[in-house]
Amino acid sequence: MFLKSAHVTNFKSIEDCDEVAIDPDVTVLVGQNESGKTAFLQALNKAASVDKDASFDIYQDYPRRLLNQYERRHKSDPDEVVVLTYRAEQRELDRINAWAGFELTDDVEFSHNHYYDNVRKITFSTPEQS
């Protein structure tokens, strides 16, 4: 699988960065100083860290100006912080199809959603075939 896109919301200086396409060969982050480039990379690092203890912390990571309002609802309605969308490669699809008896096409995507309560949800999507 390869990372197709990333979307970061409510992380440090980033309120909503919109979805950022990730090219398999080269992706370049460009922006003025203090525009959120480092925060974006820190969010991705926490979401897909090799450090098993990496986690999102509302007191360290949530935008300061929004923290008081968010704190009241954090336990009952935690915000999504990072969505990583992956596209399956053909060899992976071939293995899944052989194992499960499916006929999945190369449009299969997985979204890995990360929340401030450190719950992670995986969404699997494939286009409906007629």
Three-class SS state of 68: helix
Positions of the chain with pLDDT lower than 50, given as ranges: 130
Rounded to 5°, the CA angle 120-108-82 comes to: 30
For the beta carbon of residue 113, count every other beta carbon within 10 angstroms: 17
- How far out from the chain centre does Cα 3 lie? 9
The mean predicted confidence, pLDDT, of the chain is 90
* Complete domains list, the chain, with CATH: 2-125 (3.40.50)
Answer yes or no: are the C-beta atoms of 43 and 82 closer than 8 Å: yes
